[in-house]
Structures are given as C-alpha cells and as structure tokens.
Amino acid sequence: MKVLKDIRDGYVLWHANRLKLPIFVPSNIVRKKVMFSGRVQNVGFRLELFRIAQRLKLKGWVRNLADGSVEAELQGEESKVDFLISSMQRLKRASVTKWTITYVPLSEDEEEMKIIP
C-alpha cells in the first residue's frame, strides 16, 4: 500500500508544482478558515493544498477531519488565498461538493504552512 501512496503523492506534487500561478495584484493580508466537503480525502487533496500554499508563500495549516472533510486555515494576501481556494474547488481528482469560508484573526507567530496529521 505504501508504494501506491508514494506514487500518488509523487503525482500530486508534480501536479501542484506545474500549476501556473498568475501575477497577483498586491492585496490585504487575511486569514481564512476553509472547510472542504465531498471526496477530499485519500486523493492527495491535503498534500496538493499544502504544496500550492507553499508556492504562494502562504502561512497556516491543513488537516483531515474524522467526518471525511478537510479543514485549512490560510493566511496571506487575499488574492493568493482566494486563488488557492478556487484551485482546490476545481481539482479533478477530488470532488468538492461544499465549502465554507470564515475570516479568522491573523496569527502573528506562524512562519510557514504545515500539514497537521
């Protein structure tokens, strides 16, 4: 099973690294909590979100929840956060059927993006 997971993760990273990033207009720094529901676990969703967030230089975290959904807090320029959310909604390996976005207070002590197991 580990071999299959390694193959999937390799594909996910390849896919996330080749996503074309637009030129972003500078915008306000925000922190948004996003809940993605649908078929979002066991498809590399969390890893792809993490890698794209790293490329966008966003801070925050992402984790799987017991109910099968994925939760993330994303902090950075609002245009970049919105681009990431939109990209994840269109991910073909997954099937995002519902998402909710909530503004939350900025976290000043966070320095990077991380995956919470």
Catalytic positions are 46, 64
Provide DSSP, 75-111: EEEHHHHHHHHHHHHT-SSSEEEEEEEEE----TT--
3-class state of residue 68 by DSSP: coil
* Contact (CB, 8 A) for 91 and 15: no
